[in-house]
Amino acid sequence: SQQKESIDDSNRTTFTRRVYQVDATTICQLIKRNENKCLYKSFGQLLYQASIDRIETACNHQNDDLLLINAPDLISVAFHWNSSECTTSDVEDFVSIIEPFINLRELFYDVTISDARIKQLCLIGLICFYGNTIEVFFSYEHSTSKWLFCFDGNVTVANDWNAVIRKCIDFHLQPFLLIYANSQQNPVDISQLLKRTILQEKSNHNNNHNGEFFH
């Protein structure tokens, strides 16, 4: 799924999908420009600033009216990477600024439902690029309050979010998709999804040994 933007007569862009797309290069540039914290003060505000830049580029005009018309219990943030424009240091800065929670209101210029103004979503899943493939997963385990690190068919435990950041930096991982959800609802069982993915990966390795399991 992709984020869909439709611009009406009032020059307002309506967010209609659960995938919030952001350009990673733009985020890296904003991080460098934010030494005095005048552009953003949280990860959610950073994503919003980056999304404004993407809309301006796509539509060839300035538009900061990103409107949310519901109060979703789950939202995914997808990042587009251009490896030729991002250094290893840029990726490390990017990873270090990700927060394990996000205020839904900060992602948009405005929201139409009062619940969305106060709703906070928690990070429950993280998918990363490793080299040219997507095969690294982190899943938050609610029962233990720990993170599962899934890499090359193996699952290990990361004790907290700082450990997740450390692994991303040590393995030179590029975050591709963040999944935030309402911790009260827990609408997606990420651990089950990862188990199925790992089984599929092993099957593909046995069949063709190319390590590619997304079709």
30 has a pLDDT exceeding 70: yes
Report whether 179 contacts 137 (CB < 8 A): no
Q: Which pTM value belongs to this model?
A: 0.74
**Rounded distance, CA 202 to CA 213, Å?**
9
3-state secondary structure of 168: helix
pLDDT 10s digits, 40-53:
889 999 999 898 86
**Rounded distance, CA 145 to CA 114, Å?**
29
The beta-carbon contacts of 113-117 under 8 Å, at least 24 apart in sequence, are 113/68, 113/69, 113/70, 113/71, 115/71, 116/68, 116/70, 116/71
Q: What is the mean pLDDT of residues 6-18?
A: 49
Bridge partners (DSSP) of residue 155 are 150
Longest dimension (CA), the chain: 55
Per residue in 33-60, is it b (16+ CB within 10 Å) or e — as a string? ebeeeeebeebbbbbbbbbbbbbeeeee
107 has a pLDDT exceeding 80: yes
> Which of 205, 166, 40 lies closest to 158 in space, CA to CA?
166
pLDDT 10s digits, 154-203:
889 999 999 999 999 998 999 999 999 988 765 455 555 555 444 444 44
Report whether 158 contacts 164 (CB < 8 A): yes
